[in-house]
Amino acid sequence: MVAVKRPKPKPIRMMPGMVDVTAERSERIKQAAKDLGFDRCGIARAGPIEHGDFLKAWLARGHAGTMGYLHRHTESRTDLRTWLPWARSVVVVASSYKQGKCQKVETSTTQAAESAEHREGLRGRVAMYAWGEDYHVVLREKLERLTAWIGEHVDAAAQSRICVDTSAIVERELAVAAGIGWIGKNTLVLDPAIGSLFFLGEIITDLELDPDAPMTDHCGTCTRCLDACPTAAFPQAYAMDARRCISYLTIEHRSEIDPELVERMGDWVFGCDDCQTVCPYNANDHQTAEPRLMGDADAAAPMLDDILSWDEAAYHRAVTGKATDRAQLQMWQRNAKIARRNLER
């Protein structure tokens, strides 16, 4: 059979009064995301990320520590189309988890003054993102509703894939490409109105949608986030050595921690917010409207004695249905011992 070479279709010229269908449905999807309670929604083209070479070099330097899974599927992390060749667009959403005033909980000074008789009252600190229900579940359920809306109101035949922090893609790069914000010097995505205290989620789709323009970096000469890191986890701006990050040490690192870093970990028992609490863009009045992401005082500052007394059953009761189940029981108790020593020092 002789192959027939067909001419490429000419692009449609928009005439006055004509409706740009791609732009119109893109805006409708973003409005639907807003109606579902997402704080931000933007669209990126499916394709190579901007800093793919940086990612590969970062991994090669060993800055991922023991997170071996980051070395797998580097092709899809740098271009998701190697995983999903049908992908054409990525709908990126942001959901704030900010609660109360964004400020460091000043517990260390007062707690350190506790007498030996009252040491059972010492508390550790948990990063704000983990106070409420497991964000993987909360965001996925909302993205499933958005996907269903797209199928009902945009294209019933649309193919899609939902991602919430567990797929081999670089979400922050997609968020920047979708105009959600820029990558700050602490390597987190920053939005000028809602700061950096938000989760990201994606719908990868075969729909042709209008991409949003990337946002300009507004960090300027500010280095507060870099200066605030107790363990000096940033060898330079926009680059983090995870091996020194308190979040990595308390959540991902399974074995003993370098004594030189132990003394700098303060009272953190799960994660760390230090580089975010000092950011001027987080000094805003914005708070999450999602009740499932909210937590109470015990979620934010659990009793160290409670953690140290956990058996397997108590541990599972404490972490089931929350992002805090990422750290194993022995890691929680290791972290609690470190927090106690630092508070009593």
Is the residue at 16 inside a domain?
no
Secondary structure element (H or E) that encloses residue 270, with its range: strand 268-270
pLDDT higher than threshold 80 for residue 233: yes
Residue 313 lies in a domain: yes
- Mean local confidence (pLDDT), 186-199: 97
| Helix (H) or strand (E) segment spanning residue 31 | helix 21-35
Parent domain of 111: 21-344
Residue 37 is which amino acid?
A: G
Binning pLDDT at 50, 70 and 90, where does residue 345 land? confident
Residue 329 tokens read as 């029981």
Q: Rounded CA gap, 65 and 57, in Å?
A: 14
The domain tally of the chain equals: 1
**CA 13 – CA 315 distance, rounded (Å):** 62
The CA distance from 43 to 175, in Å, is: 8
Element (H, E) at 33: helix 21-35
Q: Can you read off the two tokens belonging to residue 205?
A: 């789709």
Q: How far is CA 80 from the centre of its chain?
A: 18
Q: Are 45 and 202 in contact (CB under 8 A)?
A: no
The pLDDT assigned to 18 comes to: 42
102 inside domain = yes
So what's the pLDDT on residue 106? Answer: 44
| Rounded Cα gap, residues 177 and 170, in angstroms | 11
List, for residues 297-328, the tens digit of each pLDDT value: 999 999 999 999 999 999 999 999 999 999 99
* pLDDT higher than 60, residue 11: no
Return the structure tokens found at 7.
Answer: 């001419």
Residues making up the chain, counted from first to last: 345
Residue 108 lies in a domain: yes
What separation in angstroms does the CA of 288 have from each of 44, 140, 185, 191, 336?
24, 17, 24, 14, 28
Q: pLDDT-derived band of residue 139, with 50, 70 and 90 as boundaries?
A: very high
Residue 154 has a pLDDT of: 96
**What band does 57 get if pLDDT is binned at 50, 70 and 90?**
very high
Residue, of 7 and 187, whose pLDDT is higher: 187
pLDDT tens digits, residue range 12-26?
344 455 447 899 999
In percent, the amount of the chain with pLDDT more than 90 equals 87
Q: At residue 191, what is the residue type? A: D
Torsion of CA 301, 271, 139, 181, to 10 degrees: 120
pLDDT at 222 over 80: yes
Alpha-carbon dihedral angle through residues 73, 77, 81, 83, given to the nearest 10 degrees: 30
**Structural contact between residues 171 and 143, judged by C-beta atoms closer than 8 angstroms:** no
Residue 7 vs residue 195, higher pLDDT:
195
**What pLDDT is attached to residue 4?**
40
Query: Pick from 250, 264, 90: which is nearest to 173 by CA?
Result: 90
* Per-residue pLDDT tens digits for 207-218: 999 999 999 999
Indicate whether 28 pLDDT > 60. Answer: yes
pLDDT computed for residue 294 by the predictor: 96
Under the banding of pLDDT at 50, 70 and 90, the label for residue 9 is very low
Q: Using an 8 Å Cβ cutoff, are 265 and 338 in contact?
A: yes
Catalytic annotation, residues = 165
In a domain, 15, yes or no: no
Give the pLDDT of residue 112: 43
Does any domain span residue 12?
no
**Cα–Cα distance between 44 and 163 in angstroms, integer?**
14
pLDDT at 20: 76
- What b-and-e string marks burial along 184-199, b requiring 16 or more CB atoms within 10 Å of the CB? bbbbbbbbeebbbbbb
Q: How far is CA 14 from CA 22, 68, 208, 210, in A?
A: 12, 49, 17, 15
Task: Say yes or no to pLDDT of 105 above 90.
Answer: no
Q: Name the residue with tokens 């303060």.
A: 266
Distance of CA 170 to the CA centre of its chain: 10
Model pLDDT for residues 73-102, shown as the tens digit of each residue: 999 999 999 999 999 999 999 999 999 854
Q: Which one, of 214, 141, 120, lies nearest residue 176 by Cα?
A: 214
Q: What is the tens place of the pLDDT at every residue in 250-296?
A: 999 999 999 999 999 999 999 999 999 999 999 999 999 999 999 99
Residue 162 lies in a domain: yes
Question: To the nearest whole number, what is the mean pLDDT of the chain?
Answer: 91
Which of the four pLDDT bands, split at 50, 70 and 90, describes residue 111?
very low
- For 149-182, what is each residue's pLDDT tens digit? 999 999 999 999 999 999 999 999 999 999 999 9
Containing 330, the helix (H) or strand (E) segment is helix 329-344
Q: Residue 121's pLDDT band (boundaries 50, 70, 90)?
A: confident
Structural contact between residues 58 and 166, judged by C-beta atoms closer than 8 angstroms = no
CB 244 within 8 A of CB 233: yes
Q: Are 331 and 124 in contact (CB under 8 A)?
A: no
The answer as to whether 115 is a domain residue is: yes
